[in-house]
Chain A
Amino acid sequence: MGQQQNIAEAGIAGPKVRSDCYVKLELTEKGGIRIDLDSKVKSMYGSSIEQLCRDEIEFFEIDNIKLTLKDAGALPFTISARLEAAVKQISDTGKEFIPDIIDENKDTPVRDRFRFSRLYLPGNNPKMMLNAGVHNPDGIILDLEDSVAPAKKMEARFLVRNALRQVNFYGSERMVRINQLPDGLVDLKYIIPHNVHVILVPKCENALQIKQVEKEISNLINKHKITHEVFLMPIIETALGVEKAFEIASASESIVALAIGLEDLTADLGVIRTNEATETLFARTRLINACKAAGIQAIDSVFSDVGDMEGLRQSVKISRSLGFEGMGCIHPRQISIIHECFAPSKEEIEKAQKIMDAFYLAREKGLGVVALGSKMIDLPVVKRAEKTINLAVKLGLISGQDTT
């Protein structure tokens, strides 16, 4: 790293900052570890905060240092990440100060699960992470890419790492969006050993990129003796990516879904993004087709007007009708509407039940042809009905006993 600096800063302070902190480190010649703590929770947590800082500084084998900590009620995983981000600027240490993993975050990745909603969380904002899980999204995305300022990229890696271990997301699938390659490959070092479920690969344009990510993950899995798979979700955000959708979708066994990012895509296409999204109809249907051909899920972009719930509802309905199986969220209030609209409606379930009943009846009677009223029913229709019923059961909309 060459010449080291003596002063380092990390985190943020200010009147509007909450659940975060600012750290300043100054290497000194003597005087041991000196901590100047200014915290809004000093009377309640002052000594435990000081202890945490002291332990961490000793862990990094720093003997003489002045630490200034301005704390606005940050939780230990945040304080520790900010401190480490500062230490790494003034020390060559290769060590990582890794917090314990909470029991709730020990669940390993699962390939087949609903991905109706996935909530984006800026990777350098601890406050937004804390309650993300209580809004019950299918997945949360700790974002290291676009929502993190270039100067904060390193800090965010420590925070996301610690969040993966310490923040309870209440059963949501834990996803991380890495940066574009090659930076994204470095991100993986901070993420893969910490029980992340899915890696989102942004601005994906070819299979090679997926291979690179896959290889780095495989190295890390071997190095850290990880016994489970880590899944991938490439994001298609360019015209070229759309054209290569099937190549990307089938590039790795680990891919569980492709997502589309319409903000960048419309920019690349040179069109204006609208709520109706007719300008990206081709791109979206092409992506869906590629996903179905590869046997993976197709996930739609986010709906960016967080105040327009009716617009969101319409948008999700169209998404679902096209074949998407999920959508991104940028606000927790979008989650319930997305879930509602991706779930089969009462009418759909009732119709599917009738079809299945007719199917079972025909099978019992040994009839080759299934009829509902005067209508003949083809096998694909039965298959689709069965899918609807299974989905409704999984979502708890009907009980398993309702199906024969």
Chain B
Amino acid sequence: MTETKLIKNAAERNVPLEINGKPVVPYKGVGKHNPAGAKHGPKIYSCKDFPSDGNKRVGTLMEALKKAGLKDGMTVSTHHHFRNGDMLANQLFDIAKEMGVKDLRWFPSASFPCHEHLIPYLEDGTIHHIEGSMNGALGRFASQGKMKGVGVLRSHGGRYQAVQDGEVKIDIAVIGAACADPFGNSNGLYGDSATGLLGFALADSQYADKVIVVTDNMVPFPCVPWQIQGNYVDYTVEVDKLGDPEKIISGTTRITKSPDRLLLAEMTAKFCDETGIIHEGFSFQSGAGGTSLAVGEYFKKIMQKKGIKARFARGGSNKYLVSMLEEGLIEYILDGQTFDLEGIRSMAENQGHVWTSPFTSYNYHGKGNFAGMVDVAILGATEVDVNFNANVVTHSDGYLLHGIGGWQNCLFSKTVILPIPLFRDRIPVVVDEVTTLCGPGELIDVIVTERGIAVNPLRTDLLEKLKGSDLPVKSINELKDEAEKICGKPEKAHFDDQIIAVTKWVDGTVLDVVRKVR
């Protein structure tokens, strides 16, 4: 990459004004960016140009891609509901390679370790760069400065925003669906590759120039419910297998057995109880991580004991959440991502189990979204600094290892709690300054570690409620000092000047850069 001009943004991070040859806006602060103009509009199409009998089937994915006009430099999108069992994205680029297409921009809603398969295509130039999460081997590849372009990391909401802005114009969206009809109506509910919902593909269906639906369970019209509407779809393709069901959905999500994580979960739930966050009609965000599941179970005990019901839980669904729904402890699950078979069953059976999308929950350009209505979000982080800024994409050694996911968007809930260990092995988690900024400290309220709980001084209300509590409340600096006392003061990671990726804020501005690891 050529020398880039950098400017200090509102978070004091040096960021470029141009990424992959296109101008970008540096971060201005939470709620400070006011984009103007009209949203991006896809091309006008007319129904007369599509089969009037609704049959849009073509024989193979390659045929569909050829008809959709796949060519050099295009932006191709996929979704990540198949998680680590995804076969479609890999097939897609196998075909691109076979067709000799180059310099594609891959725009997934997230990538997984199974996409290590794509590294040769990043090496040979079939894929120019990735705009989406880069995990595992892909993250390592990018961190070593081997990707041709600069990676762009966005939140799930930020992805919807980037599509609506026209910042990312999707040329071809390839949407895998567990169930679809020849017209393109599709859902994730039924079939061997069931994923529950398809919310992450919603923007792609609405805004991509060409939309291909691929299914391994083609049913006659109508496929209901149509989570993706066939009216957006150009071509439908039937394949033998979309993914590895065991890796798409875990048969059983399990609560962590780690005593340390259980302690974090117990402390988090106790904190929520003592500060009155758990009250009649409250709402919470839930995830499928071990600690997050355990927090839910502690919530459940407190709710049962006090006879309290939650109005809704938002986020990933799983058997524990479903049991709370079916026992009447939660009235609604607003599901953004279904994690296990019980979640899928419940979504099909329970009226109160509702599917959502990044549009309903997170989008910056919506007239509001659900994230801000949630009373408490319990999230993770790789690092938190003394200003409560948090990192979720890199580790302290600088390697890109996780995506942002819905994390940034969830920061807008009324109280954000990060239950995290004070250190992992010898790596301090509470630090002076985060390696990569992903979430501004003003939105992060509470850090729960096994050695103490730090509350953001901005939350005087929470601190007031904790007076007289026997919870181990400490300052964030005390926690940082304790981490350094145990681990030693770390040397700063050494980075090259080369920028290998940027993190975007939910409004599309550039929050920080990720540099090549030396």
Contacts and interface: CB of A to CB of B under 8 A. Distances in A.
Interface of A: 18-19, 40-41, 43-48, 72-76, 130-131, 134-135, 168, 331-333
Contacts of B490: 41, 44-45
Contacts of A45: 426, 487-488, 490-491
A41 B450 contact: no
Contacts of B262: 333
- Name, among A41, A43, A131, A332, the residue most crowded by chain B CB atoms within 10 Å (CB to CB): A43
A44 B259 CA distance: 27
Interface of B: 259-260, 262-263, 396-398, 424-427, 450-451, 486-488, 490-491, 493-494
A275 B262 CA distance: 25
Nearest to B490: A44
B426 A19 contact: yes
A231 to B, nearest CB: 27
| A interface secondary structure, majority | loop
- Name, among B260, B262, B425, B486, the residue most crowded by chain A CB atoms within 10 Å (CB to CB): B425
Contacts of A131: 259-260, 450
Given A43-B397, A48-B488, A134 B263 contact: yes
Contacts of B424: 73
- Name, among A47, A134, A168, A333, the residue most crowded by chain B CB atoms within 10 Å (CB to CB): A134
B427 A41 contact: yes
B425 A44 contact: no
A135 B259 contact: yes
Given A41-B397, A75-B486, A134-B450, 9 more contacts: A18-B425, A19-B426, A43-B398, A43-B494, A45-B488, A130-B486, A131-B450, A168-B486, A333-B259
A73 B425 contact: yes
- Name, among B397, B424, B426, the residue most crowded by chain A CB atoms within 10 Å (CB to CB): B426
B303 to A, nearest CB: 20
B397 A44 contact: yes
Contacts of B488: 45, 48, 76
Nearest to A40: B425
Give the 3 A-B residue pairs with the shortest CB-CB distance, closest first.
A73-B425, A44-B490, A332-B259
A331 B259 CA distance: 8
Contacts of A19: 425-426
A44 B263 CA distance: 28
Contact of A44 (B260, B451, B486, B493): B493
A130 B426 CA distance: 10
B425 A332 contact: no
A19 B491 CA distance: 18
A18 B421 CA distance: 15
A43 B259 contact: no
Contact of B491 (A18, A40, A43, A135): A43
A75 B450 contact: no
A162 to B, nearest CB: 14
24 contacts: A18-B425, A19-B425, A40-B397, A40-B425, A41-B397, A41-B426, A41-B490, A43-B398, A44-B490, A44-B491, A45-B426, A45-B488, A45-B491, A73-B424, A73-B425, A73-B426, A74-B426, A75-B426, A75-B486, A131-B450, A134-B451, A168-B486, A332-B260, A333-B259
B263 A332 contact: yes
A333 B257 CA distance: 9
A178 B272 CA distance: 43
A47 B489 CA distance: 12
B259 A73 contact: no
Nearest to B267: A134
Given A43-B398, A44-B397, A134-B451, A75 B491 contact: no
A231 B80 CA distance: 60
B133 to A, nearest CB: 22
Contacts of A73: 424-427
Given A43-B398, A43-B494, A72 B425 contact: yes
Contacts of B491: 43-48
Nearest to A41: B426
Nearest to B264: A134
B493 A43 contact: yes
